Structure 1
Amino acid sequence: MTHNIPDNRDISCYHVTKHSWRGKYKRIFSIGTHGISTYEPSTLGLTNAWSYDQVVSLTLSKSSNTSDKSQQSISNSSPIAEFILTFRTKSKKNDTMRFSSEYRSDIITDALRFQTLFYHHQQATSQPKVIHATKIHWSSQRLPVLLRIQSHCIDQIDATTNRYLCSYEYKDIEQLIPLTSEGDTTVRGFLIQDKHYSRLHAFVTTETSTLFQNIIDSAHTNIGVQIRLSKKSYTLNDYNQLRFGPTYISDEHLTSFAEFIVYKHSSRHVDHVRRLLCLTETCLIERDPATYHICTLKPLNEIFGLVRHKDSLQEFTIEYIRNNPTRSKCKYTSTERDILLATLLDGVRSAGNNDCCVKTNPTDRGKRFAPFGHLVDDEVEIQHLKFLVQPPSGRLSTPQDSHNPSASQGGVSFNEILKRFNANVPYSGLINAVSSEGMINSSFILKKTKKKHFDTDS
């Protein structure tokens, strides 16, 4: 199906391998606002598209998934990390396409965020399991929440307002840890340990008997990741001590050398929340100004970019490498914005993160062909370098820049190509210099690109 999906916009794209009777070849696999699309990498031309009401499922390929659940599941970087896209044809029958990617768990997770729009969900009667729990807040308050066990994540819902708060995606969970009281082995709840830097999230609930196995089975069956159940239980004292992981509990990581008053923009609060944004040698910490308690902690090496909003003198956004909509960015307001951003950028660079930069527009994940925090394939980088000289001929689902007079109706504007180049190539420079066709003279291409840009401006 090669028709465009009306009003569809690419949200996340991946460079994958398609498996068919013709052999194996590369495709750009896109999860969009209204459907799933595939593109030809060399032209960015649309090859297939399915609106979500035509998508039946995205599942693991049986040929690449071990049946022994006690063993470590197939790694994301495994060359046989295959998945199956099942869709409805015009003749109202199911058909399939097979793909493989080192980012399989990310792809399936991104797609399953739209699973309520899938074809089989329109026919289904079963609902996700929901349990009542209490979330232990950073202020030590206990907040009533609902935990909805989805096929790809655990949704946290405000039990009072029934408002969605955030998701804990299975691909980002290292293990589940039973929560007990001091001197008592009775399980009172559980902790979710983050895979990236072992941050803990604590919940108190009486419904743990089947909850652990439901999460572990769902993660293995639907996403292909292994979530461990810790044999050792933690107490609340353990949680309070290790809440931000064992790496960042020392004074070296918690003592700040610069602090700024900011107002955080959060969907969890009606009004902007006053915070103290603190910069340490290794971390960016949010503290409560009244109590100086730590609200959140983020390692500086998890920062992807800094956005200095051009339509406001005080607003800025910090982008993170997380491939999770609720954790990928934080927006703030500060009267000291420019000083703050300069100090933060200097701290991030000092921590060894040389690919972070300040820009005026948020990064469009739909233009990037790999998750933040991972380098794109060498083929992708070199192809985007070639696009600077010879723009692709394909039509894109991402809307074109209507303010650029050089944008053509059927092709891609030069401004769009620059945005895609910047989204895929690290700020520190080109990583790959060799393609299947041999050495590419990147200096020659960039000089030619500058001349073309000047010619267009004149």
Structure 2
Amino acid sequence: TSTGGESNARFLVQKISTWKGRYERVFALTDTALVNIDPSNWKVTNNWPFDEAVKDFNPSVAADTEFSVVVREGRKNNVLKFACEDRTALLCALQRAMCNAKEHHERKFMGIKFTRQHTRKDCTLEAHPAALKYYERDGTFISEIRYDHITSLQPVSDEGSSFVIHSVGRPRMFATPDRNEFLSGLAKHLTKLGLGNVVSTEAISTGEYRAQRLRYGNENHAKLAEFEVLKRTHRYPTPINRKLIVTETALVERDAT
């Protein structure tokens, strides 16, 4: 059955009903709507447009897999309860889809991104509801850090404007004169996605960050294979040389030099 558009993501969920108990559904996220599908026959049971019907969502604080979605049906808002083993990924995808479907603006902060060599690069930071985004000062988009990839968010103890984000195990340092306000915005979005536990009040020092960054990708695991490759990225006008190394635990990208 047609979902009314190509699905950008699908998740197997359980609908939690006070009178029917729990039963399976598939959430399909299209560009314009949240579509509810019965997996027993693949028929669409609900089609909720983001701009009209999907009003809000909230993670449950009592159960790590449960969440609710507020949808407009007729003249009233209904709170529908669901559960999903991949709740974090689902809520992040839902937040992104809702933001893309509706005009959305967030304050941008003057900031600095620290490179691997700890040099400072001017940038603009945005605590977007779906990701931490950073731009060139002229507004050109550079990259983003998805909230569902963040495992830790810490202020830096000896740099009053700096903070460190661990994303997929990789530490990254940024700075902004309005650190407290920016971190508050990040914490609000992370909590909305059920990720409030990654926000740490324990500060990290610059030395600790540099040690962690140096160790990243240099764990002593047996090398299984190594390849010289070209990497294409919007950050460089032409492909750049890289090494891809296959270890027992990870695929590691390194500078070719």
Q: Same fold (TM over 0.5)?
A: yes
Name the residue aligned to 1:104.
87
Selected match of 2:64 from 54, 62, 75: 75
On the 8 A contact 2:113/2:123 being kept in 1, the answer is: yes
CA distance 1:244–1:186, shift in 2 (3 Å): closer
Q: Does 1:231 align with 2:214?
A: no
SS in 2 for 1:209: helix
Cα separation, 2, equivalents of 1:164 and 1:22: 49
Matched AA of 1:260: F
CA distance 1:148–1:209, shift in 2 (3 Å): same
Greater fraction of residues in helix: 1
Name the residue aligned to 2:166.
193
Cα separation, 2, equivalents of 1:97 and 1:230: 34
Cα separation, 2, equivalents of 1:5 and 1:270: 39
Q: Does 1:128 align with 2:106?
A: yes
Matched AA of 1:264: K
Structure 1: segments with no counterpart, 5+ residues: 67-73, 293-458
CA distance 1:138–1:29, shift in 2 (3 Å): same
Cα separation, 1, equivalents of 2:142 and 2:70: 28
How big is the shift at 1:47? 1.4
Cα separation, 2, equivalents of 1:270 and 1:260: 22
**TM-score, normalization: structure 2?**
0.84
Name the residue aligned to 2:61.
65
CA RMSD between the two structures: 2.8
CA distance 1:210–1:245, shift in 2 (3 Å): farther
After superposition, residues 106-185 of structure 1 pair within 5 angstroms as: 106-118=89-101, 121=102, 127-169=105-147, 171-180=148-157, 185=158
CA distance 1:269–1:33, shift in 2 (3 Å): farther
Name the residue aligned to 1:217.
188
Cα separation, 2, equivalents of 1:186 and 1:288: 28
Q: Does 1:10 align with 2:7?
A: yes
Matched AA of 2:193: I
Cα separation, 1, equivalents of 2:81 and 2:180: 37
Aligned length: 255
CA distance 1:156–1:245, shift in 2 (3 Å): farther
After superposition, residues 168-317 of structure 1 pair within 5 angstroms as: 168-169=146-147, 171-180=148-157, 185-194=158-167, 196=168, 198-220=169-191, 222-225=192-195, 226-235=197-206, 237-243=207-213, 249-250=218-219, 252-253=220-221, 256=223, 258-289=225-256, 292=257
**TM-score, normalization: structure 1?**
0.50
CA distance 1:174–1:245, shift in 2 (3 Å): farther
Cα separation, 1, equivalents of 2:79 and 2:135: 34
Structure 2: segments with no counterpart, 5+ residues: none
On the 8 A contact 2:30/2:97 being kept in 1, the answer is: no
Name the residue aligned to 1:304.
none
Cα separation, 2, equivalents of 1:267 and 1:186: 30
After superposition, residues 21-100 of structure 1 pair within 5 angstroms as: 22-24=19-21, 25-60=23-58, 64-65=60-61, 74-76=63-65, 81-87=66-72, 89=73, 91=74, 94-100=77-83
Matched AA of 2:233: S
How big is the shift at 1:50? 2.5
Determine what percentage of the aligned residue pairs are the same residue: 20
Greater fraction of residues in strand: 2
How big is the shift at 1:244? 6.7
